[in-house]
Amino acid sequence: MNRYTMNILEYDKVIEEINKYAMTEKARQKIAMLQPGNDIDIIINWQTETTEAAAMLAVNTSVPLISLEGIETSLIKADKEMILTPHELNSCRYLLEGVRRIRKYMEKMQTIGPAIAAYASSMYDLRDLEEEIERCIVNGQVDDRATRELAGIRKRILILEDRIKQKLNEILRSPAYKSILQDDVVSSRSGRYAVPVKRQHMKNFPGQVLDISSTGSTVFMEPAVITRLQAELNVMKIEEEIEVYRI
């Protein structure tokens, strides 16, 4: 078909309208490349599918389609056996859920649209994988219940953090340190807990300097009484990262 005929038919506007219904960037790219066909057998097949699709929508307009935006990246990484992030795993779960729902929809539409419904026969219902991702990934993060090991590690982290905070609160409430501390607050420096100590009294406070204020009047020190607990906490957080990566 020549350009003049396509202009008369406003083919570009047709493509633009179809593009509104695309659910992924890849689909939009394919739609942009569509060209009119000239093979009569293919054209008849397309018309049959279009008629079937219209008949299916007349029966049930609630086609269970979900957005697949960004799924291409996850599939490429999975194909290369790369580790997927929780967000990417959730994208895979939504894809699997969509496959399961569309298969169920098409099974009910086989008599109305056999040609269209046949596309669903190439889809696999991986319910076990879908449920495993749903069990392990909650609110965009690997959940404690994913493995016993992770649950144990995170429980130990909470215990250590609670013990550290108790000791820090004891220091903040202690009269012995009232004149030494700049404020009765606890801050964090590179994942380690510290208290603000007046610089002129830093030698009188048992601990390690982690940082210094912009004015130089305050040093942030990790009290010696929490050093061992902090070291154990750091190890547990590394173990948490390793277990999350493994999951």
Q: In Å, what is the CA distance from 2 to each residue of 17, 47, 144? A: 21, 21, 62
| Cα 208 to Cα 228: distance, rounded to the nearest angstrom | 12
Across the range 138-152, mean pLDDT stands at 94
The residue segments making up the domain with residue 172 are 148-246
Question: Which of 233, 90, 87 has the alpha carbon at shortest distance from 154?
Answer: 233
Whether 106 and 174 share a structural domain: no
**164 occurs within a structural domain:** yes
Whether 96 and 122 share a structural domain: yes
What DSSP element (H or E) covers 72? helix 71-79
Whether 226 and 174 share a structural domain: yes
Q: In this predicted structure, what is the pLDDT of residue 137? A: 95
Q: In Å, what is the CA distance from 100 to each residue of 23, 105, 132, 137, 209? A: 18, 9, 15, 19, 57
**5 occurs within a structural domain:** no
The amino acid at 84: L
Whether 195 and 238 share a structural domain: yes
With b for 16 or more beta-carbon neighbours within 10 A and e for fewer, the 112-140 pattern comes to bbeebbeebeeeeebeeebeebeebbeee
Which tokens in the block code for residue 97? 């859920």
Whether 107 and 153 share a structural domain: no
Residues whose CB is less than 8 angstroms from the CB of residue 214 and which lie 6 or more positions away in sequence, other chains included: none
Q: Number of C-alpha atoms within 13 angstroms, CB side, residue 82? A: 11
Residues whose CB is less than 8 angstroms from the CB of residue 124 and which lie 6 or more positions away in sequence, other chains included: 99
Looking up residue 219, the CATH number of its domain turns out to be 1.10.1420.10
**10 occurs within a structural domain:** no
Whether 173 and 100 share a structural domain: no
Domain boundary among 87, 115, 141: 141
Answer yes or no: is pLDDT of 198 > 90: yes
Q: In this predicted structure, what is the pLDDT of residue 73? A: 85
Total structural domains within the chain: 2
Across the range 121-146, mean pLDDT stands at 92
Across the range 123-140, mean pLDDT stands at 92
**131 occurs within a structural domain:** yes
Domain boundary among 111, 141, 171: 141
User: pLDDT exceeding 70 applies to what percent of the chain?
Assistant: 100
Whether 43 and 83 share a structural domain: yes
| Cα 87 to Cα 245: distance, rounded to the nearest angstrom | 13
Local confidence band at 3 (pLDDT 50, 70, 90 cut-offs): confident
Across the range 76-86, mean pLDDT stands at 90
Q: In this predicted structure, what is the pLDDT of residue 134? A: 94
| Cα 115 to Cα 56: distance, rounded to the nearest angstrom | 11
Mean predicted lDDT score pLDDT of the chain: 91
Domain boundary among 141, 156, 177: 141
Whether 112 and 174 share a structural domain: no
Whether 191 and 109 share a structural domain: no
Local confidence band at 104 (pLDDT 50, 70, 90 cut-offs): very high
Whether 90 and 113 share a structural domain: yes
Whether 224 and 174 share a structural domain: yes
The conformation of residue 24, written as its DSSP 8-state character, comes to S
**204 occurs within a structural domain:** yes
Q: In this predicted structure, what is the pLDDT of residue 1? A: 66
Judge whether 109 and 54 are in contact, CB under 8 Å. no
